[in-house]
Amino acid sequence: MNPLSATGLKNVWADYEQDLLAVENCLIEFGGDTNDYIRDVTSHIIKSGGKRLRPLLMIISSRLSGYSGPHMVLLSAVVEFIHTATLLHDDVVDHAEMRRGRLSANQVWGNQTAVLVGDYLYATALWMATGVHIHEINDVLTLACRKMSEGEVLELILDNNLSAREEDYFNVVECKTAALTAGTCRMGAVLGGMDAEHQAALESFGYNIGMSFQIADDTLDYMARADRLGKTLGKDLAEGKMTLPLLHCLSTASIPQRESLVQKIGKGEVSDQQLREVVDLMKSTGSLDFSLEKAISFMRKAKQALDPFPDSLHKQNLLFLSDFVIERDI
């Protein structure tokens, strides 16, 4: 992340520091409201940190819409619980060993526990949301959860699928990532009593920022510095994840290049030399630039979606976050 982005992000966080602290307290309170075993697993992943991007989007969208009541904090915790549940499930499906620099929950407690606690967090999140007593909020959340579950299955089908298309990848990203960010931002507008136009605008912002974030993240897996990205580079290649850079490269490489690339997909381990070879090939085929341009295109759509809102601190912070998802680790 360049120094300007780092400073800007700290400023954004500072603007909502008290709200975010309240969200952390809410996560601890509801995450601990169960038996000791579930509490230990939940605490393990919640206290491991994370970007808290979704709670931040919930808070800013709510305040942009003129709302600052208690439901904002509660629903921020709800979307983070839902996101956390997907991480637990993802780590089981991907046989992950690490999560945010710590042993993943499935490595510590086993796959069965990780899946069941993920289910518990889903249920807890939806139960918490019912306490808001707004039917539209329930509709938004349950639809997002449905799409996220669908995305999990679609991604499983896509793994190691050499006949996969770019539209298949976009469908997975829409379900797994953009559905929740879109719903998060829409809920902020609902809490603020915004009209249909402004609700749709914030939902569009959330959708496009989610698409941009995930495409950039998948591209960074091949080109970022590992210490800044916070995960092992080349992990997607080793696991056979058919992300946009890989799909573009497979479709544009020469036959010998494609054959060589196929031999490296989904093998469970990728050496530094193999990763360098793949990255060099992606550079020569323009696959990394192509993927980043797609992420930038969605980022621009996110910014345009905010046009119906007058200028304000909250709007400026959302615009900054739009840039941040692209520039954070390049």
Please tell me which residue, 303 or 47, carries the higher pLDDT value: 303
Low-confidence winner among 5-9, 32-36, 67-71, 160-164 (lowest mean pLDDT): 5-9
pLDDT band for position 224 (cuts 50, 70, 90): low
- The predicted pLDDT at position 98 comes to 86
Mean pLDDT value across residues 220-249: 80
Mean pLDDT value across residues 62-79: 97
Mean pLDDT value across residues 307-329: 93
Give the closest residue to 87 by CA, choosing from 61, 117, 62.
Answer: 117
Q: Is the pLDDT of residue 204 over 90?
A: yes
Q: Is the pLDDT of residue 4 over 90?
A: no
On the CB side of 134, CA atoms within 13 Å amount to: 18
- The predicted pLDDT at position 1 comes to 53
CATH code for the domain of 213: 1.10.600.10
Q: Is the pLDDT of residue 45 over 60?
A: yes
pLDDT tens profile 75-115: 999 999 999 999 999 999 988 888 887 899 999 999 999 99
Low-confidence winner among 36-50, 55-69, 216-230, 247-261 (lowest mean pLDDT): 216-230
Mean pLDDT value across residues 296-325: 97
Instruction: Report how far Cα 6 is from the mean position of its chain's Cα atoms.
Output: 19
Q: Is the pLDDT of residue 328 over 80?
A: no
Domain that holds residue 210: 3-327
Q: Which residues are within 8 A (CB) of 283 and not within 5 positions of it... i.e. 6 or more apart?
A: none
Does residue 304 come out as left (phi exceeding 0), alpha (psi in the -120 to 50 range) or beta? alpha
CA distance 73 to 228: 29
- The predicted pLDDT at position 160 comes to 96
Quickly tell me which residue has 């995450």 as its tokens. 31
Mean pLDDT value across residues 174-202: 98
Q: Is the pLDDT of residue 229 over 60?
A: no
Q: What percent of the chain has pLDDT over 90?
A: 83
Quickly tell me which residue has 């979606």 as its tokens. 305
Q: How many domains does the chain have?
A: 1
Cβ proximity of 86 and 176 under 8 Å: yes
CA distance 158 to 13: 36
Cβ proximity of 308 and 198 under 8 Å: yes
pLDDT tens profile 150-163: 999 999 999 999 99
Mean pLDDT value across residues 203-229: 85
CA distance 215 to 95: 22
pLDDT band for position 269 (cuts 50, 70, 90): confident
- The predicted pLDDT at position 230 comes to 47
CA distance 258 to 260: 5
CA distance 232 to 236: 9
- The predicted pLDDT at position 148 comes to 97
SS (H, E, C) the chain: CCHHHHHHHHHHHHHCHHHHHHHHHHHHHHHCCCCHHHHHHHHHHHCCCCCCHHHHHHHHHHHHCCCCCHHHHHHHHHHHHHHHHHHHHHHHHCCCCEECCEECHHHHHCHHHHHHHHHHHHHHHHHHHHCCCCHHHHHHHHHHHHHHHHHHHHHHHHCCCCCCCHHHHHHHHHHHHHHHHHHHHHHHHHHCCCCHHHHHHHHHHHHHHHHHHHHHHHHHHHHCCHHHHCCCCCHHHHHCCCCHHHHHHHHHCCHHHHHHHHCCCCCCCCCHHHHHHHHHHHHHCCHHHHHHHHHHHHHHHHHHHCCCCCCCHHHHHHHHHHHHHHHCCC
CA distance 84 to 110: 17
